Amino acid sequence: MSDIENHPASPGKIEIEWDGPYHVEGEIPLVRKRQVVSEYGEPLTWQKEETLQARGPYQLCRCGHSHEKPFCDATHLEAGFDGTESASSAPTAERQAPVPGGTHIFVKRDTSLCMESGFCGLRNTNVDQLVPETADTQTRVQVIGMIERCPSGSYTYAVEPSGPDIEPDLPAQVAVVAEITSEGPIAGPLWVTGNIPVERSDGQPFETRNRVTLCNCGNSKNKPLCDGSHRAGH
């Protein structure tokens, strides 16, 4: 089933305030997750650590300056935060490009969604290199796992050339994530899963997707989406 069509009704929604926070409404839990990495620092999967709030409403920091992160404390008003949203609200299908070489699964990528979380690569290979080898079942399973753990949904796959994207069954929730680096954990984006609608500050909807990574450091050039800017200096 595609993450764009036929998804179930959401238990809530996220509204973006002009130059302000994310307003989360409805039965949407807020949890904390962190990457699980290999001995080489390669991201492998996600681990849930705790539930911060069982349901909305709550407001989440978007500027990166709150003293009560992940919650908003109105510091954006003092910081002069520019939250202008420049990310495309068009369907991702209009931007996806096929990864060449697939025969048993068919992989596509929307590079505008990438926030470089690292799940698409290992120290000696990556999804693009593995796709031509997916006639092998073990390789196919590996590629599917790497794609399904990608938080942004930049990579997707289908089992037929023109078939719908197959999405992991993810809970409707917002996760405050920690990424593991050689220097230790760093704060990552807000990871929104489960086809939760996100509405721009001008009232227009973004495409509803199963996996969305929202910027909460204030530095993304693709707001409200994360583009990996939080890693600057790490």
Residue 79 tokens read as 């910081």
Q: How confident is the model at residue 39 (pLDDT cuts 50, 70, 90)?
A: very high
Q: Specify the pairing of strand 12-16 against strand 198-199.
A: parallel
- Rounded to 5 degrees, what are φ and ψ at 190? -90, 120
Which one has a higher pLDDT value, 192 or 8?
Answer: 192
pLDDT at residue 3 is higher than 50: no
User: Residue for token digits 């409200």?
Assistant: 224
Rounded to an integer, the average pLDDT of 42-49 is 96
pLDDT at residue 1 is higher than 50: no
- Residue 153's alpha-carbon distances to 61, 107, 183, in angstroms, are 22, 12, 26
Give me the pLDDT at residue 2, please.
Answer: 43
Over the stretch 178-227, which tens digit does the pLDDT of each residue have? 999 888 899 999 999 999 999 999 999 999 999 999 999 999 999 999 99
Overall pTM > 0.85: yes
Give me the pLDDT at residue 6, please.
Answer: 53
